Amino acid sequence: MTEPVEDVPEANAMQAESISTADIAVETAILDLLRARGETRSICPTEAARSLAGATTDDLAWRRYLPVVRRVALALARSGTIDILRKGKVIAPEQAHGVIRLRLKPGQEEKS
């Protein structure tokens, strides 16, 4: 597990599309997990949130990272780096709601 990211602002403050240090940490966590899993496998956004929260005595600390993970995942999907899946099918980022999974787009595994 990684160390917790300390500068992840609350979800309301993270609505802007600007790139912050927290965004970079979240993007790195998502892509590292996806590359470790492989191009044909997917992850749940909660896995990235848990990774960012690190080891903590608060079992639900990862939840505060989830809105930021989802927002960064949408940006990665818009840029063509990852696919967002719902019920096993690729969906447009604008359709992402409810239960989703993330997967590397084919050919993205070897990129850094």
CATH of the domain at 28: 1.10.10.10
The answer to whether position 31 is within a domain reads: yes
Domain encompassing residue 17: 11-104
For residue 22, pLDDT over 50 is answered with yes
For residue 23, the tally of other CB atoms under 10 A from its CB is 17
**DSSP secondary structure of 61-102:** GGGGGHHHHHHHHHHHHHTTSEEEEETTEEE-GGG--SS-EE
Q: Residue 59: its pLDDT value, please?
A: 80
For residues 5 and 54, give the distance between their C-alpha atoms in angstroms, rounded to a whole number.
8
pLDDT tens digits, 2-13: 555 555 544 444
The answer to whether position 19 is within a domain reads: yes
Q: Residue 95: its pLDDT value, please?
A: 94
pLDDT tens digits, 28-87: 999 999 999 998 899 999 999 999 998 777 788 899 999 999 999 999 999 999 999 999
Residue pointed to by tokens 């993970």: 69
For residue 111, the tally of other CB atoms under 10 A from its CB is 10
How many structural domains does the chain have? 1
The answer to whether position 27 is within a domain reads: yes
Contact (Cβ atoms closer than 8 angstroms) between residue 85 and residue 97: no
The answer to whether position 76 is within a domain reads: yes
Lowest mean pLDDT among 7-21, 46-60, 98-112: 7-21
